[in-house]
Amino acid sequence: MIPLNIASDWTHFPTEGEPTAPRTGPFPFKPFLETVWKHRTDPTSELVVATTKDSAVALAVSEDLVQFAGEPELTDYHSPIGNNTADLLASALSEHQGKTFRFDSLPREATAGVVLALDKIGAHSTLTEHEETAVLDLPQTFDEWLMGIGKKERHEVRRKRRRFEAEFGPASIVPGGNNALATFCSMHRESEGEKGSFMTGSMEQFFSDLMENAGAVVHALVCEGRTLATAFGWETEDGYYFYNSAFDSTAAFASPGVVLFSSMIEMEIQRGAKVFDFLKGDESYKFRHGAKARQLFVIEGQIP
């Protein structure tokens, strides 16, 4: 096994680098993972951070289970960082003999290193399809995107945007700070059904911490000074990661969701982004508007 540093805190975990799976946004790095760890639902789990000069992996270890740090309900991608992750992960796992492991939310590119690590310690594992994200490769212009989604959807997007602006005035996307976050949380709480109970006090603090510590941004869809929808996510050098959204329930009749994400796509194309990632979830609207499924995998077994 390779020499490595084992710690129970995030001091040496990288804030940037090369994950084993490309285009995984903020999710593999310290600012996001440390924030999720702070808000974990299992306070009894222990943090194991294994690092070398150029590789890193963070594990959540409970009494009988080893996972990657970052709960699957909050973490859309898991991907160890660096070029030597198989040896690193094998070394870290060898300290937890007899425990079950479950490594979820892995893009295909990240599975090879995990499987190799398990082979190195003689662990039998199963790899199965898990969930999927929805990823839109962005063209050079917004008109190209409209042409690419087909005649029916193109007509619907244009019609809904015209109707929305006829009701509320010209729409624009505006990046916001704490006030926009407060509006985003308030819109969630005013939503009907299950969505209305999602934004608890602890969840609001989680989103606030993601903005303060993990680089998340809120964009507001504004019409004549009034915010009618909000998007919460991350802008990277070449992409946008669409983590959550909410809208004014009084505007529901005018399709604020379509106007929001199509306006966000238009803005990201103008910014020069290459990808718009809708993240986890198989909602049909994502695929009707050009996204392709990116399969995620889970690897399970027991450490010998």
Domain of residue 224, CATH code:
3.40.630.30
Is 239 in the same domain as 195? yes
Domain count, the chain: 2
pLDDT computed for residue 2 by the predictor = 58
pLDDT at res. 41 = 87
Provide Rg for the chain, Cα atoms.
21
Prediction pTM value: 0.95
Residue range 192-216: average pLDDT? Answer: 93
For residues 13 and 58, the answer to whether their CB atoms sit within 8 Å is yes
- 83 and 200 share one domain: no
Looking at the structure, do residues 144 and 102 belong to the same domain, yes or no?
A: no
Q: Would 279 be classed as within a structural domain?
A: no
Residue 6's beta-bridge partner residues? 50
Decide the pairing of beta strands 226-235 and 125-137: unpaired
Residue identified by tokens 């603090």 is 205
- Residue 10 phi/psi, 5-degree rounding, is -95, 10
Both 262 and 234 in one domain: the answer is yes
Indicate whether 215 and 298 sit together in one domain. no
pLDDT of amino acid 51 = 96
- Per the listing, tokens 């505007």 go with 251
212 within some domain: yes
Tell me the pLDDT band of 3, cut-offs 50, 70 and 90: low
- 28 and 96 inside one domain: yes
Beta strands in the chain (DSSP E): 5-7, 46-51, 56-61, 65-68, 100-107, 125-137, 171-176, 217-223, 226-235, 239-247, 275-280, 292-302
Residue 144 shares a structural domain with residue 125: no
Question: What is the mean pLDDT of the segment spanning 199-224?
Answer: 97
222 phi and psi angles, rounded to 5 deg: -115, 135
97 shares its domain with 165: no
Residue 289 maps to a domain:
no
Q: Which domain holds residue 96?
A: 5-132+294-302
Pick from 164, 139, 163: nearest CA to 269: 139
